[in-house]
Each structure stands twice: as C-alpha cells, then as structure tokens.
Amino acid sequence: FKQWYQRRVRGKKFFVFSQFLYDDHIYSRLVKDARFFKEHKEELDQCYPYDKADKFNRGIRKLGLTPDGLSFLDQFRILITHIGNAMGYIRMIRSGGIHACANAIRFVPDLDDIVNLEELAKEEELPQDTVQAAAILDSVLENLTKNFAEGTAYFKMLVDVFTTSMRSPKNQHLKNFYMIIPPLTLNYVEQMMNGKEKINKKNKLGAAFTDDGFSMGIAYILKLLDQYSAFDSLHWFQSVNSKFNNEEKAVKESRRGASDVKLDQTNTLTMKRLDEYRQEFELLYYSLSSARIFFRTDVEDIPVEVEQTPLGGNATPAASSNAGPA
C-alpha cells in the first residue's frame, strides 16, 4: 500500500496540489486573506467572514473555465476528493484484510500466548517432517498475528510517509492551505446541492447525494501540514451559522405585515433554500469531524462532547476539541 500510494498519489495528485497553491494568483490571494484575518480577527469576533470566502469562490471563475464549465477551484476540490477517495480505498482493502485475518486466526485460543510448536516438536524428538511442518505453522501464526494486530496503524504510516516532504522549507507555499478551505467548502456545498437536484431529473449526469472523499482529503492534508489548529482558529462553521441566522432573520422581518403574495412566495423559497444550505454545511461539518478521528495521534485530536453543533443541530460528539467552534 505504501509503495502504491507513493507512486499514484504523491507522484501525481500532490504534484498538482502543490502547483495549484504555488500559482501567483492563488498564493497572493491566500497570503492577503491570511494577513487580513490576522489583523482584524478581534473585530471579526475570531470568525473568518463568509463574504470573503464567497468572494474568493466566485472571483476565481474569472481566471477561466474548462470546456465543462469547471473553475480552477472546482478542479482543486475534485483533486482533494480523489486524494480522500484513495484513502477510503486503502481503508476498505485493509479492512477486508483484517476481516480475513480474523476468520483465519479465530481458532487460536490465546493470541498473547502462542506456543512455539517447532520447539515442542524437537523436545518430543518427533520426525523431521513433523518439525518442519510445525515451523511452517509457527510462521503462519506469527504472520496472522502481526497483520491482525496492526489495526488502523496504516493511516499513521500514510501520514508519516509524506509529513517530512510536505512540511519542508521548499514547500512554504503550502502553509496557507487552511485559508482556502472556507471557499472550498462553499464550492463543495454548491456542487452537492446541484448534484442532489439532478437525482430526480431525466439527465442524471453529475447527480450525487454524498461525497465523503472531500472531507477525508481535507482531514488528511490538514494533518500532513499540521494545520488543524490554524483551520480551527478561523471558526469557519460558526461564521457560516451566523451568516444563515442573519439571513433568516432578515427574511422573517420582511414577512411581517407583508400582503404581497409573490413576495411571500419568494420569502418561502428563500427560507427553504437557506435550510438546505444549512443542512449541507452541517453534514459537511460532521463528515469532516469524523474524518479527523482517523488521523488523531495526540491529546488535541481526542474527541470530546459538545453541547451544540455550530449549525444549530442537536448535541453530538466532535472529532476534536478544536473541530468546531465552541
């Protein structure tokens, strides 16, 4: 898996990933946004402004589109999704391997106290063929025990493989990756909304109802770059919640005393759309929080209970003490 992942992902996906963030238009914008937030975070109540992310998401389309109508940010989102899907594929294969090992080793009475059959055969002065058979069985049991005991350590291995190179001084342009996540999430939510709308249409090209590869890719890359805390400092999902609350409040106020039927219908559709967007962001928050659990390796990554989701949902465990706004 290590060699396959290095060749397929590091050789292609991470090269494109690095080149995108190295582009002057992207790099300069991320540096500018990072500086802005650092200088104004007190007056912004520690929350990265929704409008800034929305402006980035829409403004990048001016740099050009593919024949399919995809912006550079669309393509970057798809790239991150591919990286996350690769992680999911590895997990699926590894889980199948552990399941096979469990079925094969279930007849061993005690995995912590496996007797050396070769030595016992020699002590009893059994025939050489029996001793060789016992040695082969010892080797099989040792291999099964080792593979079964590895658990989910392969995720840590995939992090360790790339950590040094991703955090090296020559990749300084990656240090502001966390700043592009807010516009990326807006782009993702818009894509998911469009995908779900296409499910009930005759032409289902691009239809989808879920895409957890994006969350897995984001969680993995943040871990590689050691940017969990930096991203959490943006309190992005709390900012999204505030944005939706303000818009819902404005719609409700416009409804008061309104006698125009068309205006009332427009407000109803607006409220429905806001609820759909809120739900998509809430699903993304939970998906990202869950993905972060796979890569927890220290105290800061241990899940804790939170009283309320950042988007107004019920109490639920978050992936870390910093996974969402307090």
As a whole number of angstroms, the distance between CA 2 and CA 20 comes to 25
What pLDDT sits at residue 259?
A: 67
Residue 227: closest CA among 28, 21, 66: 21
What pLDDT sits at residue 225?
A: 92
**For the chain, percent of residues with pLDDT exceeding 90:** 37
Please give the radius of gyration of the chain, using alpha carbons only, rounded to the nearest integer: 25
Q: Model confidence over 34-45: pLDDT tens digits? A: 999 999 989 999
What pLDDT sits at residue 96?
A: 83
Q: Model confidence over 166-182: pLDDT tens digits? A: 888 888 899 999 999 99
The answer to whether residue 314 scores a pLDDT higher than 50 is: no
What pLDDT sits at residue 302?
A: 43
Q: Are 31 and 176 in contact (CB under 8 A)?
A: yes
Q: Model confidence over 118-167: pLDDT tens digits? A: 888 888 888 999 989 999 988 988 888 877 766 556 777 778 777 887 88
Higher pLDDT, 320 or 280: 280
Residue 17: closest CA among 222, 190, 231, 210: 222
Average pLDDT over residues 52-80: 91
The answer to whether residue 27 scores a pLDDT higher than 90 is: yes
As a whole number of angstroms, the distance between CA 213 and CA 87 comes to 8
What pLDDT sits at residue 10?
A: 56
Q: What angle do CA 318, 300, 182 make, to 5 degrees?
A: 60
As a whole number of angstroms, the distance between CA 28 and CA 49 comes to 18
Identify the weakest region by mean pLDDT among 38-42, 47-51, 105-109, 301-305.
Answer: 301-305
- The token pair at 325 is 């706004």
Average pLDDT over residues 232-239: 94
What would the 3-class secondary structure string for the chain be? CHHHHHHHHHHHHHHHHHHHHHCHHHHHHHHHHHHHHHHHCCCCCCCCCHHHHHHHHHHHHHHCCCCCCCCHHHHHHHHHHHHHHHHHHHHHHHHHHHHHHHHHHCCCCCCCCCCCHHHHHHHCCCCHHHHHHHHHHHHHHHHHHHHHHCCCHHHHHHHHHHHHHHCCHHHHHHCCHHHHHHHHHHHHHHHHHHHHHCCCCCCCCCCCCCCHHHHHHHHHHHHHCCCHHHHHCCCHHHHHHHHHHHHHHHHHHHHCCCCCHHHHHHHHHHHHHHHHHHHHHHHHHHHHHHHHHCCCCCHHHCCEEECCCCCCCCCEEECCCCCCCC
Q: Are 288 and 215 in contact (CB under 8 A)?
A: yes
Q: Model confidence over 142-152: pLDDT tens digits? A: 888 877 766 55
What pLDDT sits at residue 311?
A: 62
What pLDDT sits at residue 8?
A: 58
What pLDDT sits at residue 105?
A: 80
- The token pair at 63 is 């740099």
